Amino acid sequence: MRSVILLFLVLATPCATLLAAQGESYRADWHIELKAGDDSALVTLKLADGRPVRDIRFRYDPERFSDFEAEGKLTVTKQSVHWEPARENARLSYRVKVTRERVNKNQDKSYDALVTDEWALFRGDRVIPRMSVTARIGAVADTMLHLHVPENWRVNTGWPLDKASGDKFRYRVDDPDRRFDRPSGWIMAGRVGSRRDHVGSTYFSVVAPMDSAADRMGWLTLISLVYPEMEKAFGKVPRKILMVSGDDPLWRGGLSGPNSFYFHSSRRGVSENGTSPLLHEVVHVITRISGAQNDDWIAEGLAEFYGVEFLHRAGGISSKKKADILENLADWGKDAPKLRNSGSNGPITARAVVLFDDLNTEIRELTNNKSDIDEVTRLLMKKRRVSLQDLQEAFKQVTGSDSGILDKVE
């Protein structure tokens, strides 16, 4: 099988070879159809020209996915799909259960995806599985996302609306890290209220059901005040960020995704301990840093650190207040014997915040205030999934020296 795939990729027809050299693109249209009160979404992938794609494979959850149909050759087992698209007007469709329960000890029932009579909230990557695509060398999908919803519903995604098309809910999906784009990130559709504004280089949308207790305007105002500091620190920011929210029985927490994040209506922009759950999630969305095995503390610690740091830089808290916040976090962090663990809980994250503040001081001292932790973070943003070794190497690249602080991390 491997030799067959290599033959397709390498020994393409002369026409395909010419197209590949020029950076061939082909159209891929994802359609998601939602109905009020119906937990079953119809998802369809259409390829007007199926010739650049040899096959698509993916695994699925049989308890959520069903009714697979396709134009072309389709093989469905109990947990996997193998589709060889037709040469023209290729189509693959299936049904998927949208609602997903998420355990929370403080709630009898909680969900991080839900469909009601009035609205639907979910992540695109939960209804469209990760796929392995074999295509011509150099072929890149030009991807669109179409939402089909009841007549009185609105649609919100983290992707930009394709205004040139004239379609009401058609969005352009472009992930530079992928040749075959998947419409990932949060989506909210229905009878919802929103607050929107251009904040620096980014268009922010804060969306929640009409009757929700979500503090749309308060959250947007806080982001607007702090965002200039984020742009200075990170340099590269998304063109658009969607923030979705809602009340119980939605999960009481915050969850980030590509170009978007979820934030329960009960959560505060700034907590009583001085940290900012809201800015924490925005940092995740912009940096997209995640921790490698046993190093989740890096991603969570940086997000929490910057939540406090940006409040200080923007003038929201004084230097004394910042010092008090860090002192309290240091006390909380004493409950964590070490940073490197399978996950980052409250004490571990608190301890990591203090470490990153100390690391910022160390960088400034070694560079005579010419550099700071922002430069290290920008290097980590390029890697996305980072380890302690990556952090040590980024520190050395910025300062020219090893970090005494990081050498002691365990």
Domain count, the chain: 2
Domain match, 202 and 107 both: yes
Residue 92 covered by a domain = no
Q: How many helices (H) and strands (E) does the chain have?
A: 10, 21
Is the Cβ–Cβ distance between 84 and 61 less than 8 Å? Answer: no
User: Which residue, 266, 301, 323, sits at the end of a domain?
Assistant: 266
Place of tokens 């700034």: 270
User: Which residue, 240, 266, 292, sits at the end of a domain?
Assistant: 266
Domain match, 402 and 304 both: yes
What was the pLDDT predicted at 23? 57
What was the pLDDT predicted at 258? 92
pLDDT of 324 above 70:
yes
DSSP assignment of 65-117:
EEEEEEEEEEEE-SSEEEEEE-SEEEEEEEEEE--EE---TT-SS-EEEEE-S
Residue 73 covered by a domain = no
What was the pLDDT predicted at 220? 98
Name, in order, each residue with C-beta under 8 angstroms of 186's C-beta and a sequence gap of 6 or more. 121, 122, 123, 124, 157, 158, 242, 244, 257, 260, 261, 262
What was the pLDDT predicted at 167? 76
Number of C-alpha atoms within 13 angstroms, CB side, residue 384?
4
Domain match, 296 and 381 both: yes
Please write the tens of the pLDDT for every residue from 5-61: 333 343 333 333 333 334 588 999 999 999 999 999 999 999 999 999 999 999 999
Please write the tens of the pLDDT for every residue from 145-155: 999 999 999 99
Domain match, 247 and 329 both: no
pLDDT of 409 above 50:
yes
Residue 58 covered by a domain = no
pLDDT of 2 above 70:
no
pTM for the whole thing? 0.90
Domain match, 135 and 228 both: yes
Domain match, 315 and 374 both: yes
Q: What is the mean pLDDT of residues 260-267?
A: 97
Residue 159 covered by a domain = yes
Percent of the chain with pLDDT over 70: 94
Domain match, 350 and 323 both: yes
Q: How confident is the model at residue 138 (pLDDT cuts 50, 70, 90)?
A: confident
Range of the domain at 399: 284-408
